[in-house]
C-alpha cells in the first residue's frame, strides 16, 4: 500500500480577465498550498475502486480520483490498477480544491507504482485533462495560475518565503457553493478586469510580498455573496470576533484570514455557531512551504 498527502489550497487572489470560447473564464490567481490535507492510499488489486471515510463522497466514476486514474491509464495502459482509500479532511464545495488535490495525489501514486515514474511535467499534462486546477496540485508549490488554471508560474523565492508558514484561520458554513453556480453568478453580476490591471496589481505585490496578498481581491466573492447572504453575515461576525477581515477562497464557500497575532479562536467558533449553527467549521492551519 502506498500513501500520499493531498493538501488543500487557498486562492489568495482571484481576478477574472476574460471569457473563453469553451465557456470557461480566463483568470489570474495567486494560489498557495496549505498544511490541511486529505490522505489517499493505493493498493494494487487489478481493478479501479475507491472508498472514503466520508459517506457523502461519491464512490462512482464521477469521483475525480477515478477520473485521474483513467486519464493516467490512457497514457500508460500497462499501469497497475487497484483500490484507493480516501481519508477526508478538506471539505468539498468549499473552494479549497480538495477533489482536485485528491486527483493529483492519485496521479503521483500511480506514477510511483508504475515502476518507471514519468515525473511532474508528464503528470501536469495528464492533470489538465481531469480539471482546471488539478495541474497546480501535482507540484503543490505557491504559484500564479493563468488561463483556466492550467498555466502555472511558480513564485520566485522571495514571495514564496514571505508566504511560507503564514498562519491561516479557515471557516466554512454548513453548505457549499457549486463552482458552476459561482461562475454563473459572476456572469450575471460581476465585471471582468482587464488582464493589464490584474497583472499590475500582482506585480506590485511581488515587489512587496510582505504586504497582504488578499488585498488583490476575489472577483467571485461579490456575486456569490449576493445569493448566499449567510456568508457576508457570518464574515461580519467572524471579523468582529478576531478583529481581522476574512476573504472567500476560490468559488467558496470557505473563507479565510491570514493572521500574525493570537486570535481568540474560541470566540470565533462561538460567533459562527450563533450565525451559522452547529455545522460551522473552523480550522487553524498554515501556508505550506
Which element (helix H / strand E) includes 257? Answer: strand 255-259
Closest CA to 176 of 276, 268, 102, 244: 276
Supply the DSSP symbol for 277. Answer: -
Q: Which three cell numbers stand for residue 78?
A: 500497462
**Residue found under cell 495560475:** 145
Q: Which of 9, 67, 88, 172 is catalytic?
A: 9
The C-alpha angle with vertex 228 and arms to 173 and 254, in degrees rounded to 5, equals: 35
Distance CA 80, CA 66 (A): 13
- Catalytic option among 26, 133, 172, 219: 133
Going by C-beta distance under 8 Å and a sequence separation of 6 or more, which residues neighbour residue 170?
Answer: 34, 36, 96, 254, 255, 256, 281, 282, 283, 284, 285
Helix (H) or strand (E) segment spanning residue 199 = helix 195-207
Distance CA 119, CA 180 (A): 31
User: CB neighbours (10 Å) of residue 28?
Assistant: 24
Residue 9 is among the residues annotated as catalytic for this protein: yes
Active site residues: 9, 133
Amino acid at each position: 500500500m502506498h500513501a500520499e498527502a493531498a493538501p488543500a489550497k487557498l486562492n489568495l487572489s482571484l481576478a477574472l480577465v476574460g471569457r473563453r470560447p469553451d465557456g470557461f473564464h480566463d483568470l489570474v490567481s495567486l494560489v498557495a498550498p496549505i498544511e490541511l490535507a486529505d490522505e489517499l492510499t493505493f493498493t494494487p488489486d487489478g481493478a479501479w475502486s475507491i472508498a472514503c471515510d466520508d459517506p457523502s463522497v461519491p464512490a462512482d466514476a464521477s469521483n475525480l480520483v477515478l477520473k485521474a486514474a483513467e486519464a493516467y491509464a490512457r497514457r500508460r495502459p500497462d499501469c497497475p490498477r487497484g483500490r484507493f482509500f480516501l481519508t477526508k479532511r478538506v471539505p468539498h464545495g468549499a473552494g479549497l480544491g480538495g477533489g482536485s488535490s485528491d486527483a493529483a495525489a492519485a496521479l503521483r501514486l500511480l506514477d510511483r507504482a508504475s515502476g518507471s515514474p514519468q515525473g511532474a511535467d508528464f503528470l501536469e499534462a495528464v492533470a489538465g485533462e481531469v480539471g482546471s486546477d488539478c495541474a497546480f496540485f501535482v507540484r503543490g508549490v505557491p504559484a500564479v495560475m493563468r488561463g483556466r488554471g492550467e498555466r502555472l508560474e511558480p513564485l520566485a523565492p522571495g514571495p514564496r518565503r514571505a508566504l511560507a508558514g503564514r498562519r491561516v484561520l479557515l471557516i466554512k458554513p454548513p453548505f457549499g457553493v457549486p463552482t458552476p453556480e459561482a461562475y454563473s453568478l459572476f456572469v450575471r453580476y460581476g465585471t471582468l478586469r482587464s488582464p493589464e490591471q490584474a497583472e499590475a496589481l500582482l506585480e506590485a505585490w511581488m515587489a512587496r510580498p510582505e504586504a497582504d496578498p488578499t488585498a488583490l481581491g476575489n472577483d467571485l466573492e461579490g456575486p456569490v455573496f449576493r445569493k448566499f447572504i449567510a456568508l457576508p453575515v457570518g464574515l461580519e461576525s467572524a471579523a468582529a470576533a478576531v478583529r481581522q477581515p476574512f476573504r472567500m477562497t476560490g468559488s467558496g464557500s470557505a473563507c479565510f484570514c491570514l493572521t500574525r497575532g493570537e486570535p481568540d479562536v474560541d470566540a470565533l467558533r462561538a460567533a459562527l455557531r450563533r450565525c451559522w449553527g452547529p455545522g460551522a467549521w473552523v480550522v487553524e492551519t498554515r501556508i505550506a512551504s
